[in-house]
Amino acid sequence: MNPRDLSDKTYLITGANSGIGKAAAQQLAARGAQVILACRSAERGAQAQAQITQATGNSRVIVLPVDLASQASIRAFCAQVNQQFTRLDGLIHNAANFDPSLKQALLTADGVETIFATNHIGVVLMTALLEDLLRASAPSRILTVASKGLLTYPFLDIEFDNLNGERRFSTQHAYYHAKLAQVMYTLSLAQHLQGSGVTVNCVRVTNVAIPDERLTHLPAWQRRLYQLKRRAAISPEQMARTYVYLISDPSVEAISGGYWDENNRQVQLNRSVANAATRARLWQVSRQMAGLED
Ligand SMILES: NC(=O)c1ccc[n+]([C@@H]2O[C@H](COP(=O)([O-])OP(=O)(O)OC[C@H]3O[C@@H](n4cnc5c(N)ncnc54)[C@H](OP(=O)(O)O)[C@@H]3O)[C@@H](O)[C@H]2O)c1
């Protein structure tokens, strides 16, 4: 079999209706994989599905709706995945909320600040609910997604008294806080999954172009900032190649707990990630916030 052929694999990608997630879904579909697009909007998901199938000729592209800011939605979604699919070779936690128009912490129905809920707690819950399927499909892989922007926060640490923006809130802070939590969680999860044949790695996404249609909710000056940033950005397709590499390349199969850049190289972690006590506490607290019994 051609080593690039993935027709015996099933991958699930959250936020697969736009940007890097959609590009990664298309690259996996182009190699024959069955791909589950986990999308907040069924309509935007269906549009992406039609475009991917048309571009690749692969009709095994499925849309399932999920809102990562709702634990009830994640539970319903995972129940459907567990019922409908007999294997899962890769789970890509790509979706994220970065809404600079948020002026104050907005709590979800589960009582969690929306950005932390979507970008961290939702990932913890979805992973736990799909863990058995991933274990049964081993060797299988999980990919979490952080940001190169964390480099500009060298002293950022987990603020256990501010997980819901109780003490201070800005979109920027909540976003990087959740991304740092994802990096720490990746290391804890790698430890938790040791010996299971399920690996987990984290990719540090660099500056990737965001098209104008994703910016319409922003004031003009913020749109202008993004347009300027775009001049130095790489394309979603370029970044997606690293997702595909980490989730499918044979050379990564045995690596777990790695932190990677857009050039498929392992890179240094933020200083605070080294603190094992913080990682252990975050694991515990995140599971509680996700409604998982420990
Ligand atoms: N672009 C960059 O420069 C950059 C830099 C660093 C890190 N990243 C990271 O890279 C990943 C992909 O970003 P991107 O640039 O491709 O952004 P994007 O095009 O805005 O994609 C984000 C995806 O997440 C989905 N999403 C947001 N909230 C959701 C929710 N509550 N439930 C389910 N899905 C939800 C969005 O769905 P809707 O269409 O419904 O909104 C969209 O499909 C993210 O994790 C992001 O943090 C990006």
Q: What is the pLDDT of residues 247-261, one digit of tens each?
A: 999 999 999 999 999
State the Cα–Cα distance between residues 78 and 129, nearest whole angstrom. Answer: 6
Q: Which two tokens stand for residue 160?
A: 């256990």
Q: pLDDT digits over 203-232, tens only?
A: 999 999 988 888 888 888 888 988 898 999
Measuring from atom 48 of ligand 1, which residue has the nearest CA?
Answer: 205
Measuring from atom 36 of ligand 1, which residue has the nearest CA?
Answer: 15
State the Cα–Cα distance between residues 146 and 47, nearest whole angstrom. Answer: 26
Mean pLDDT of the region 175-195: 98
| Strand ranges inside 115-264, DSSP E | 140-147, 198-205, 259-260
Please give the share of the chain, as a percent, with pLDDT higher than 90.
88
State which of 39, 120, 222 you would mutate to test the pocket of ligand 1, scoring each by most atoms of that ligand within 8 A of its C-beta: 39
How does residue 129 score in pLDDT terms, banded at 50, 70 and 90? very high
Residue 2: the pLDDT is 59
Residue 214: the pLDDT is 84
Measuring from atom 42 of ligand 1, which residue has the nearest CA?
Answer: 15
State the Cα–Cα distance between residues 145 and 260, nearest whole angstrom. Answer: 10
Residue 172, amino acid: Q
Average pLDDT, the chain: 96
How does residue 270 score in pLDDT terms, banded at 50, 70 and 90? confident
Please indicate whether residue 259 is annotated as part of the active site. no
Q: In what order do the strands lie in the sheet with 90-93?
A: 61-65, 34-39, 10-14, 90-93, 140-147, 198-205, 259-260
Statement: residue 242 has pLDDT above 70: yes
Residue 38: the pLDDT is 98
Statement: residue 293 has pLDDT above 80: no
Q: HSE (CB half, 13 Å, CA atoms) of 189?
A: 31
How buried is 256 (Cβ within 10 angstroms: 0-12 exposed, 13-18 middle, 19+ buried)? buried
Residue 256: the pLDDT is 98
State which of 92, 97, 121, 267 you would mutate to test the pocket of ligand 1, scoring each by most atoms of that ligand within 8 A of its C-beta: 97
Residue 215: the pLDDT is 85
Kindly report the backbone phi and psi dihedral angles of residue 209, in degrees, each rounded to the nearest multiple of 5, phi listed first: -55, 130
Residue where the block lists tokens 């347009």: 227
Residue 218: the pLDDT is 84
State the Cα–Cα distance between residues 89 and 150, nearest whole angstrom. Answer: 29
Residues with CB under 6 A from ligand 1: 14-15, 17-21, 40-41, 44, 66-69, 94-98, 118, 145, 147, 149, 205, 207-208, 210, 214, 236
Statement: residue 238 has pLDDT above 80: yes
Q: Name the catalytic one among 175, 176, 185, 243.
A: 175
Residue where the block lists tokens 């009709």: 59
Residue 141: the pLDDT is 98
Mean pLDDT of the region 274-286: 97
Residue 45: the pLDDT is 98
- Cβ proximity of 179 and 115 under 8 Å: no
Nearest to 56, CA basis, from 76, 27, 85: 27
Measuring from atom 6 of ligand 1, which residue has the nearest CA?
Answer: 147
Q: pLDDT digits over 7-17, tens only?
A: 999 999 999 99
Peptide bond into 154 cis (omega under 30): no
- Cβ proximity of 179 and 146 under 8 Å: yes
Q: Among the atoms of ligand 1, which is closest to the Cα of residue 16?
A: 43
Q: pLDDT digits over 61-101, tens only?
A: 999 999 999 999 999 999 999 999 999 999 999 999 998 88
State which of 74, 147, 227 you would mutate to test the pocket of ligand 1, scoring each by most atoms of that ligand within 8 A of its C-beta: 147
Q: How many Å lie between the centroid of ligand 1 and the Cα of residue 15? A: 6
Measuring from atom 11 of ligand 1, which residue has the nearest CA?
Answer: 94
